[in-house]
Copies of this chain bind each other. A is one copy, B any other.
Amino acid sequence: MKFKRTERIGAIVKILSDNPNKIYTLSFFTEKFNAAKSTISEDLLVVKDVFEKLELGRVITISGAAGGVKYIPKTSIEENKQFLMELCEKINDDSRKLSGGFLYLIDLIYNPVIVAKIGKIFASNLDYSEADYVVTMETKGIPMALMTAKAMNLPLVIIRKDMKVSEGPTLSMTYVTGGSNKVESMSLPRKALKPDSKVILIDDFMRGGGTLKGMKDLMHEFGAKVIGTGVFISTTKPQQKMVEDYISLIELDDNGETTIAKPNFKRFKDEYRELQF
């Protein structure tokens, strides 16, 4: 089958966009479209332009034997700003306030469109170039962690609260949650991580940071190193968290009776700091 230039470009965009951070060789496209290398090279230049002009991310060329092109998801500052502002507006809606000071958020953090965006923002602001896995703990952080793993093209690992006999030998650990000072347990099958792995931790909520500290300790038991941490919502209090070097997208300020969510650009990469307000 023969393809027109416009068709090839549409198809290349679809393939790259569906498979972030996966390297495609020039030969992959020449075979798929039955076209010359020079033709595909020209197509790829157009594709790169499309992504840059519309700030859809970057398409980069990797030279060498294992070379090719890959698409790196990258959200624009303006886009993130608008997205997080709108999300905070929803979070701050009075109808979300539950008794006990809790907020009803699961419709937002289980929403595929929202978590896909959150995943891309994490991928745009955490350095995962050396990471082997994205790690989260069940349950509420799973959707956003999966989308982060998708954007980073990494496997996802889910820490369970209870030990599952159906997953083979398992390493379990107790930890103290910062908020309620309760002792909880977490466990992960021995086979879940290769030795000497580097991991990115993702979680939906952090108050004291006890859960994330526990996750970090568990990684240590596996001989794995945490090289980046992303949290969706962190609270202003306590100011002192049990983990450092994390980014959080939204900060929740609870001054006694009112809670207000705000985009938390101060914890983003440098390019975001200017947006602080």
Contacts and interface: CB of A to CB of B under 8 A. Distances in A.
A169 B54 CA distance: 44
Given A104-B168, A110-B156, A112-B154, 12 more contacts: A9-B10, A10-B46, A10-B51, A11-B56, A13-B14, A14-B51, A19-B113, A98-B167, A106-B189, A110-B146, A139-B139, A139-B142
Interface residues of A, number: 58
Nearest to A116: B150
B5 A46 contact: no
A146 B149 CA distance: 13
A203 to B, nearest CB: 15
A19 to B, nearest CB: 7
A107 B155 contact: yes
Interface stretch (A77-85, A157-165, A211-219): A157-165
A17 B19 contact: no
A237 to B, nearest CB: 17
Nearest to A149: B112
A49 interface: yes
Contact of A98 (B46, B104, B168): B168
Interface string A86-100: 000000000000111
Interface of A: 1, 3-7, 9-14, 17-19, 46-47, 49-51, 53-54, 56, 98-100, 102, 104, 106-107, 110-113, 115-116, 138-139, 142-143, 146-147, 149-150, 153-158, 160, 165-168, 189, 191-192
Given A98-B166, A155-B110, A168-B98, A3 B53 contact: yes
Nearest to A154: B112
A50 B14 contact: yes
A189 B110 CA distance: 14
Q: Could you tell me the dominant secondary structure of chain A's interface residues?
A: helix
Contacts of A4: 46
A104 B167 contact: yes
Contacts of A49: 7
A10 B6 CA distance: 8
B7 A106 contact: no
Given A104-B168, A104-B189, A111-B155, A10 B150 contact: no
Contacts of A18: 17, 116
A99 B146 CA distance: 29
A44 B154 CA distance: 33
Contacts of A5: 6
A80 to B, nearest CB: 16
